[in-house]
Structure 1
């Protein structure tokens, strides 16, 4: 399913050997082994080579920006270094097909900031993808902000990615139905997305984007529900929060327009895309598949569906497919480098 233009996919995952070893040593069930739903993806998570490249070629994906899959445990610095070094070796092997986001030990923000700097300066990574919480902690406390400060200094984005949260699962998702249903409600059916949206709002309310006005943040899954609620939260935060003493210099709409980029990862229908197109500036929408949880051919079919819908012109379709990513990540894919 080749296209007449390159395609960059930004949220494409792998599972590192070092993280599997951490699960084994801690006698913790690897979520990509213990879950029958996720187990189906395991072979494609650990494989970064011919199978993945063939799938990309068949679907017209020129380049994947690789990142580590969500973790159910907080990773320490030595593990993150191993993950990033393994990923750097893969990118060096196939530099035309792969780029990378760093994995960071967010439990220790100083170490995370230093590892981000190493990955960008020494390994050529294009930013970081971080789990949405570390052991249940979100990042609105200023003790975590050193990571965002370094990202701002390096002018690279931080991709805020959904991850596991057992506390939220117990409180919000368990009910009069099988635990397997609660697990999906807590993760990819609902909870992952609503929690990530809430996290963005927590960061905004805490003043992160006032402190670091040039910070670049990416969120996936067509905005993690935020585009639908954005106008309402903009109104409430600007009119009611000041009554509680929260007087932010930069309001939510400005932050959304200037600091947030959104990918399509795993969302391949037109209704949410229509909302995204109404709520985002054209250069803020990026393509992603969410491989291997979503299939490359699904993403390719969506690009064709979007073209046929008439919702975007040809130039905007190509911007979403690769130009916006080129600009944000400071990478360049040749128009001759197409999967054919």
Structure 2
């Protein structure tokens, strides 16, 4: 299977710790995830590219590793991290723009400033094809305030993404200290990619959809990874239970269901979830046009993600390549 495009692939700033960014040792000891996770995050044109060549990955879209600016509660600090990462990532991908592209990072403390930084990346930097937002924005003196983008105040940001045609990838991140203490203490093993990441991101995505954001901005496209963060498998129950007689103030268009947005404004990727039965279920629920290939490197293995298991998987890649070439999605 050739010409694969991978959309959720992590990279890190060399001086991430100084900016309050991700430190690989905070997630797991060295060697537990992908060998030398720190080195793999920094590498672009070495081992990463070699494995792309060996496994038929034509283009890799890179983004700053989670939580990025969303994990920085200080507004000025989050904005500095975003602009620094964007400058450095643009330079890195433009060393080989036929094989790499990028998603820009944004501080979401101020929706207007977020839109301005997106426009700077779009108009003044090179290599960007979309945005990555790592779930909610941490804020407040203790970092426990959570800013969500279904708030009407964020319409100024969504308007910019809609105008520029910049897809927004909503990626997981760790919970705040307060939420971790209240919900995950004693079950920390479930707080991350096994369960907690998906449960937090799917709430945020559904919040944005049901707030009517996609209706107000019909050119806006949202992407989530990990086979849809559980949503495709719950779509019947989600739509069945969002009863308008019970929730008359829900701002989503009254003539639409959540499932109606998939394939036109909402898309999922296979990042970090390489189950063929799960893929078949997702395709059955939301359609092949809503499903795209991805890896989640270096947290996941490029060879493992690239195994040819089904004809449907090959169809996803062909369709995704056509979408990308046309500019309809990233």
TM-score, normalized by the shorter chain, greater than 0.5? yes
- Distance in 2 between residues matched to 1:200 and 1:91, nearest whole Å: 28
- Counterparts of 1:124-273 in structure 2, within 5 Å, are 124=126, 125-135=128-138, 136-166=146-176, 167-175=178-186, 182=188, 184-242=189-247, 244-246=248-250, 248-249=252-253, 250-273=256-279
CA-to-aligned-CA distance 1:101-120 (integer Å, 9 cap, x gap):
10001122211111111111
Q: Is the 8 A contact 1:70 1:131 kept in 2?
A: yes
- Distance in 2 between residues matched to 1:313 and 1:189, nearest whole Å: 23
Q: Is the 8 A contact 1:6 1:321 kept in 2?
A: no
- Distance in 2 between residues matched to 1:216 and 1:321, nearest whole Å: 14
2:26 aligns to what?
34
1:90 aligns to what?
92
1:69 aligns to what?
65
1:27 aligns to what?
none
Q: Is the 8 A contact 1:109 1:146 kept in 2?
A: yes
- Counterparts of 1:48-67 in structure 2, within 5 Å, are 48-67=44-63
- Distance in 2 between residues matched to 1:260 and 1:172, nearest whole Å: 29
Aligned length: 309
Q: Is the 8 A contact 1:140 1:206 kept in 2?
A: yes
Alpha-carbon shift at residue 292 of structure 1 (Å)? 0.2
- Distance in 2 between residues matched to 1:270 and 1:130, nearest whole Å: 27
- Counterparts of 1:9-28 in structure 2, within 5 Å, are 9-23=6-20
1:306 aligns to what?
310
Q: Cα 1:88–1:154, aligned 2, differ >3 Å: closer, same or farther?
A: same
Q: Cα 1:287–1:326, aligned 2, differ >3 Å: closer, same or farther?
A: farther
Q: Secondary structure at the match of 2:271?
A: coil
Q: Cα 1:153–1:131, aligned 2, differ >3 Å: closer, same or farther?
A: same
2:101 aligns to what?
99
Alpha-carbon shift at residue 257 of structure 1 (Å)? 4.0
CA-to-aligned-CA distance 1:69-107 (integer Å, 9 cap, x gap):
102435522221110111111111011110011000112
Q: Which runs of 5+ in 1 are unaligned?
A: 25-29, 176-180, 332-340
Q: Is the 8 A contact 2:211 2:251 kept in 1?
A: no
Q: CA RMSD in A?
A: 2.2
Alignment TM-score, normalising by the size of structure 2: 0.86
Alpha-carbon shift at residue 8 of structure 1 (Å)? 0.7
Q: Secondary structure at the match of 1:83?
A: helix
- Distance in 1 between residues matched to 2:225 and 2:329, nearest whole Å: 19
Alpha-carbon shift at residue 329 of structure 1 (Å)? 5.8
Alpha-carbon shift at residue 143 of structure 1 (Å)? 1.6
- Distance in 1 between residues matched to 2:168 and 2:238, nearest whole Å: 23
- Distance in 1 between residues matched to 2:327 and 2:180, nearest whole Å: 34
Q: Secondary structure at the match of 1:62?
A: strand
Q: Cα 1:245–1:70, aligned 2, differ >3 Å: closer, same or farther?
A: same
- Distance in 1 between residues matched to 2:293 and 2:162, nearest whole Å: 23
* Farther off after superposition, 133-142 or 224-233: 133-142
Alpha-carbon shift at residue 140 of structure 1 (Å)? 1.4
More strand by share: 2
Q: Is the 8 A contact 1:221 1:267 kept in 2?
A: yes
Alignment TM-score, normalising by the size of structure 1: 0.84
Q: Is the 8 A contact 2:133 2:169 kept in 1?
A: yes
2:143 aligns to what?
none
Q: Answer 1 or 2: higher relative contact order, Cα 8 Å, separation at least 6.
A: 1
